[in-house]
Structures are given as C-alpha cells and as structure tokens.
Amino acid sequence: MSAYAAPLADLRFALGQVFDLKTLAGLKEFEHATPDVIDAALEEAARLAGEAIAPLNGPGDRIGSKLDNGVVRTPPGFKEAYRQFVEGGWNGVAFDPAYGGQGLPWLVAMAVQEMWTSANMAWSLCALLTQGAVEAVAAHGSDSQKALFLEKMVSGQWTGTMNLTEPHAGSDVGALRSRAEPAGDGTWRIKGTKIFITYGEHDMAENIVHLVLARTPGSPPGTKGISLFLVPKFLVEEDGGLGRRNDLRCVSLEHKLGIHASPTAVMSFGDQDGAIGTLIGRENEGMRCMFTMMNNARLSVGLQGVAISERAYQQAAAFARERKQGRIAGMKSTDSAPIVAHPDIRRSLMTMRANTEAMRLLVLQIAESMDFAHRHPDKALARRRQEWVELLTPVAKAHATDLGVEMTSLGLQIHGGMGFVEETGAAQHLRDSRIAPIYEGTNGIQAIDLVARKLPIGGGAAVRALIGDMAKAPGLADACKALSASTEWMLATLPKDADAALAGATPYCRQFGIVAGGWLMARAAEAAAKQAGKGEGDAAFLAAKQATARFYAQQILPLAAALTGPITAGKDAVMALAAEAL
C-alpha cells in the first residue's frame, strides 16, 4: 500500500478561496481562527495522519481487532496513535472551549477529519462516534451529565458509542425491545442486546460512554416510545473518578468484509441486575435526541466517501505512473509506456480526481453552512444556511458514499490484476468503502429522507431557492433545469402517490449530488481563475483546478439530465413484478 500524503493544497484552497473562512473568523466565537492558526492546524494534522496513523492501515486490516476473554484488543500501534491524537487536542477541534474544546469552525474540523479518515478509516471511526456522542450530550444532556462526562469526551480521554440496532430491529428502530426500568434513585436499569456497535469495546480509552436507545415501562409503540440513556462502561463518581464496572459486556465481534481493525461489537446490557444509566433529555424523546448524533455522524460518513476516494486515487495515480504496459504512438516495439499515458487510464484517473474534489467541496459546504447557521447574527442568513444543511446532508451521505465505492473500484481497476490481489492494498480501500453506504441510515433511507422530509420544507421554497443559487454558476443552466424539473415532479407527486415518488428517490438523490458537485466545481474554477488572473498562488495548481472542473463539466455533469427520465417514470416498472416473482 502506498504512503498517504494529506491533500493540503486542496484543503487550503477550498477553505481560503472557495469558502468564506474570512467571514467566519470575523465572528466573535471564531475570532481566534486566524489564517496562521488554521494553517498550523492543517500542517500538524497532516503530519500526524501521514506519520502515525496511515502506516497502521494495512497491518490493522490484516491483524484486525480481537476479543480475548472479554477484552477487545486493537491492532498494534492503535492505542499509541490514539494517545497522540488525544494529547494533540484533535478530538475537540470544533467543540466548546468551556469543556476543553478548541472552538474552531466545523469547516476546519471537517478538513482535519478527512485526513484521519483517509489515513486509516477503521482507526478514525472511534473518534467519529465520540464526536457524535459529544454533540448529543451537549445538546440534550442534563447539567450533571455535562459536568461529569463532556470534558473527558471532548478531549477523547473517554470515547462514545451509538447503540441503536438490535438483531430484529435494523433500520426499523421502532421495533427495538431493549428495556429501561426506573431504579428509584434517578437512575435506570437497562437490559437488552445491541448489535453492530462500532468501538463498543476496545483498549484505546479508559472509559466508554454508550448512548443507548431503550423502552421505558408503559411507553407507546414504535419510535414514539423510545428513550435515550447514557450508560458508561465504568460508573463515574461525583468527583469525576471512575467507579466500578457497569453491567454490560461485549459478547462477540463481527467478522466483516472490511474495516477489520474497527471492533464492531455485539453488546449485552444487564446480564445481572441491569446496566446503570441516566436519561438523556425527556422520556420518550430518544429519537429526537439521538438524531443530533446521527446527523453529525451522517455528514462524517459522507466524508468517508471523500477520504477513501482520495486515498484510492493517490495510490492509483502512483501505480499508473510506475506501471509500464503497452505502447503509444511513435514508441519502439521493444519499449513500453507507463499506463498513465493511455487515454482510458487518464479518463479513469480524472473521474476519480474530479468526483473526489466535488465530494470534498460538498461536505465542506455543509460544514460551512453549519457554522453560519449556528453563529451568524443575521437570522435570515442563518435560517437559509440551516435549510442548506438539511437539504444537502442526506445528499452528501448517500452520493459521496456511493461514489466512494465506485471510485475505489475504479482505483482497483487501474491496478489490473495487481489490484485484485491483497498485496497492493487497493482491494482494502474497496472493502473498507463498502460499509459507508449502509451504516448511519442506508443510502436508500437517505434518498427517502431527502424526498419525503427535506423537499417539502417551506412548501418546497427551500429547495427551489437552493437550485436557484446553483443555477447562477456558469455552465449549470441545463443541469439545474433538469434538477428543477425532477424536483417539481417530486413535490407534485409525493402528496398524491408517495410510492411513485419514492420509486425515483435514489436516482433523484444522485441527480442532486451530481448537480451540487457541478455547482461547487464551477465555484472552485472561478476562484482558481481569479487567483491566476492576479498572478497569485501556484500557477500549475490553479491550472489543474480549472482542468479538473472542466472535466467534471464535460464528462460527469451531463449525466444529471439523463436521470430525469428514471426519476419521473413513477412506480409501474419498479413494482411490476409481484414480491414472490423476484
């Protein structure tokens, strides 16, 4: 597996030229986010990712995490790398300084997070889940919970998990059966089994804070009767010290297609008297509280599509420059050319490069919008940016992770037979990428969420305004016209025939992603041209930015218009065969 080098030039260009880091730094909460601080953070994160975390990726895949007599042992080096991560304050980049965080914009936090994920996706999952748990506790936790847990979770000294899925209840969370009984002292006793719990047990931190969904006595059926509980691996004393082990354990670890180094645990709560937990938020409002964590995680999972594509692209490009195969015009019959000289390989590499850059910009656009929505004093602007977050998050999660699979597959294809064998590491990227379209809400669910919940915001006013903004970018008129037609069909069809609309939800989500990518690539090209016109920056880098955007406009963006037909075809062909005939 080739070495990983963080794409610092791309990230600096995006933050400084495409997005409005200058305005964010002018807000009171972010006044410390000066250019030199941000640049130093990016530089140091790149060093840690490249030197300490990336070298563990291949060995971690081969060795995996192991369950040994109730203790999960991560691969060699994982604990040490995580210790460096915590000591550097990296877990708290975007979190409240009152709890030890750095209080930097999410725009910066997502740029840094891409590096951890590209370097080692399996390793990075521990911090990803902790980040989401911090968001949930900060938003919905009691004063006592915040005082006891947030500082150590923000630092990463304690990690967090999300416990939703049960053997009989996957995406249908409302079917869960885990129970919580009041203990009479303000705590609850939780009993049940949860599966697919990422880093549910491990040896990298001294405590693990589980956020667990369960039903309380007399709760209504379905998702309306679910509550959220904070259940630590070790109970926490009033002074913040660790007490006795809670009544929970890891029963087994899943054997998976990829992310082998990430321990995916089957967790049993309450084998004896019940695991002790405290209620987060109010009873029966667990899904509302958990969605704070899930929405955070969904953007981070979308970022995984970007990160794994970047890693696969770097490796494929390096291989294509070195691997000699075939000849080009004018070459001696005894010579051979590096495969990067062949037009089809160039097309493949440019497809990887352009899609990765577009996905990166989409995730960063959402992160910037989160910052404006939460911090900007102009309420109208903040509300508009929150609408962007709501509309674009399911698009980023689904489209970027679908492309993550496609781009890693394309990277493997560039390697030819050497990609299909494990020794090059190209296969690991493909295997690791495949989970991202599944967890944190399958991509089909993201498409349904986009169509059924997000498009109707304001009677469709929010999505129409966003498409209008996209259409202002050069070269986007035809693509936005297609997206607008699909959107209007969806808005008109959904109230009358939901199945007809949902039959086209997945291609609609892809169309939205392609057009959003084109919008942002056009903005990047404009920014590069503007810099070049002033004689600023690296001329070759800026020329490459414009060339990549032109490739996206010519080779990828036109695919959006072709999707309007499948989107608006309705349900007849989709539902034509009876279930038993499939």
Residue type, 118: S
Is the distance from CB of 287 to CB of 175 less than 8 angstroms? no
Choose among 481, 131, 87, 472: nearest CA to 299.
131
Q: Does the annotation mark 440 as catalytic? A: yes
- 215: helix, coil or strand? strand
How far is residue 354's CA from residue 559's CA, in Å, rounded to a whole number?
Answer: 14
CA distances from 234 to 206, 471, 483 (A): 9, 54, 51
Q: For the chain, give the number of residues.
A: 582
Q: How many helices (H) and strands (E) does the chain have?
A: 22, 12
Is the distance from CB of 439 to CB of 257 less than 8 angstroms? no
Q: From the candidates 135, 151, 357, 440, which is the catalytic residue?
A: 440
Contacts 24+ apart (CB under 8 A), 94-102: 95/134, 95/138, 95/154, 96/138, 96/154, 99/138, 99/146, 99/150, 99/151, 99/154, 100/151, 100/154, 100/155, 101/154
Choose among 153, 282, 182, 185: nearest CA to 225.
282
- Any idea what DSSP says for residue 271? S
Phi, psi of 302 (to 5 degrees): -55, -40
How far is residue 283's CA from residue 477's CA, in Å, rounded to a whole number?
Answer: 49
How far is residue 156's CA from residue 262's CA, in Å, rounded to a whole number?
Answer: 17
Residues assigned a catalytic role: 440
